[in-house]
Chains A and B, each alone.
Chain A
């Protein structure tokens, strides 16, 4: 029995890891393709059919580049930076429920690496450690542009984490749980949280853009002012790790958006499917539903990138502290009042 659990969890962990890597890889291609399409171009189409091998070619190129280390006292930190970014981006995927359950070999297999009670807090904890990857990398580069970019990134991420956390508090008040699995289960059918928490969703969406350092909040890699930002001094696969981590965290945050607000693996008619077609098929479709939702969010990230120009730094801070945080506090209060009235009515 114990062995079966170990095997089952290992399979889930390895496939989630592989999926994250694959998605991060193909997000780079998707980004280039979507960028091209939105600008009336075709995009990369030479490597393989329709450019399908382009990510491999990019990776191979990065591996073949010279691994440059600047003249700094912090050689260890210089290597640690990208490693932290990468591992933090991958760690978040541990608590995400990819589906409800499968019934195989006479056992119910829960499609989640681990169902901890404080999954949301875990996600936030890991996200805030992710700042260190950028901070340490920028500091160890021994370059003033990298340092400035790292400071920008750190203060931006800390600022937006506040609003993000507050937007989640309203959601947690409503769902009465911190476990992502239970939140997913509560949204069965079309009972999606986005219909109950539209303002919270909007705040969370804006904050996830800031947390993943994507346009319009990509001040950390503002080319015009800061060269490459915190990865100016990085080359070869160390730089690849930073870029990869960005795409991996984009994938994870799209997943979290889908799980928290867009009904996770639920789709209309899931219960009917479970009763009439079978648990396995219904849940496999559920996994694809989640996949479709997160792909939409990844597309949305890219769509926004080619639509909205970058904020100025003071605008960024004003939006974070003076607009999103008061808005999320108001959201909490309104949610609390509505919940209180609702309970009384019952």
Chain B
């Protein structure tokens, strides 16, 4: 079996040390072939994207930054069960559970809530397993195109509830939209 039939691409060439003919040893033909190949690339479409002006198109299954959802009445859905932290392969999520006080009923849906909920954005791999694990549909990976900003301080990459929880007015707007529809 020759090497051409084995190779998957079919382009593999067996190395040979055969003596070059006179025409080959002048290299002229080979050089002109090479020049022709490079000049063809001059007219090819360039793949470079001029980044700050143009951005690459995102994939339809793109997963952006996380968001802790609120329900229709604007209460936080999260009950601090810890399943997201358990499912997280990068161990990026930490939380601290607390019991809901009677006067906090309008803030949290369940009797238990997360008083601290932190995602380390340096560890997170945006796999979306937390979203899948959540029994309360509380954590979602949004389609937001805002990337995590670069920073010189590691602590700044730990996103707390101030950055993660959905803003209240957005939750209310969603409820209104749902009512209209």
Contact = CB atoms under 8 A, between A and B. Distances in A.
B8 interface: no
Interface in A30-52: 34, 37-42, 45
B46 interface: yes
A44 to B, nearest CB: 12
B31 interface: yes
Contact of B42 (A37, A45, A304): A37
A42 B50 contact: yes
Interface string B65-108: 00000000000000000000000000000000000000000000
B31 A41 contact: no
A40 B46 CA distance: 5
A307 B38 CA distance: 6
Contact of B31 (A34, A306, A308): A308
B41 A303 contact: no
A308 B35 CA distance: 8
Nearest to A216: B31
Contacts of A40: 41, 44-48
A306 B47 CA distance: 19
B34 interface: yes
Name the residue among B34, B37, B38, B47 with the largest chain A CB count within 10 angstroms: B38
B3 interface: no
Contacts of A304: 35
Size bin of chain B's contact surface: 10 to 19
Interface in A181-208: none
Contacts of B44: 40
A38 B41 contact: yes
Interface string B13-44: 00000000000000000010011011101101
B31 A303 contact: no
Interface in B154-173: none
Interface in A83-116: none
Contacts of A34: 42
A38 B35 CA distance: 10
Interface string A291-328: 00000000000011011100000000000000000000
Contact of A306 (B38, B45, B48): B38
A41 B48 contact: yes
Contact of B38 (A38, A41, A42, A45): A38
Given A45-B50, A307-B37, 17 more contacts: A34-B42, A37-B46, A38-B39, A38-B42, A40-B44, A40-B45, A40-B47, A40-B48, A41-B48, A42-B46, A42-B50, A303-B39, A306-B38, A307-B31, A307-B35, A307-B38, A308-B31
26 contacts: A34-B42, A37-B41, A37-B42, A37-B46, A38-B39, A38-B41, A38-B42, A39-B41, A40-B41, A40-B44, A40-B45, A40-B46, A40-B48, A41-B46, A41-B48, A42-B48, A42-B50, A45-B50, A303-B38, A306-B38, A307-B34, A307-B35, A307-B37, A307-B38, A308-B31, A308-B34
